[in-house]
């Protein structure tokens, strides 16, 4: 999609989705929270966990979605969450 926009307009688009910092920068500005006290929870290494890691947040990967434990623990994986669990219900136990 980014390539199509760039090709049609001749301009580099501003990325606002994960893992871009724009979203967390705005929320920090608006609400004044401490990034060290925030944990990004998600099921994708390449968006959710990367967003947390790249933006000074803790990250929790839930294995009930896109990313499997096998992929998480593989030698090929270079993105590491701070925490992981089988599904979100374990987070509340």
pLDDT in tens, 14-48: 777 777 898 899 999 999 999 999 999 999 999 99
Q: Is 66 exposed, middle or buried (0-12, 13-18, 19+ CB in 10 A)?
A: middle
- pLDDT (0 to 100) of residue 54: 94
Per-residue pLDDT of 72-92, as tens digits, reads 999 999 999 999 999 888 877
pTM over 0.75: yes
Per-residue pLDDT of 47-60, as tens digits, reads 999 999 999 999 99
Please, are residues 61 and 49 in contact by the beta-carbon 8 Å criterion? Answer: yes
């Amino acid at each position: 999609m980014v390539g199509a926009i760039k090709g049609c307009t001749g301009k580099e688009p501003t990325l606002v989705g994960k893992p871009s910092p724009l979203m967390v920068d705005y929320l920090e500005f608006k609400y004044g929270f401490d990034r060290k006290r925030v944990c990004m929870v998600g099921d994708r290494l390449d968006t959710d966990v990367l967003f947390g890691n790249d933006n000074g947040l803790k990250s929790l990967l839930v294995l009930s979605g896109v990313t499997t434990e096998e992929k998480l623990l593989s030698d090929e994986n270079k993105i590491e969450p701070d925490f992981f669990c089988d599904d979100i219900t374990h987070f509340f136990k």
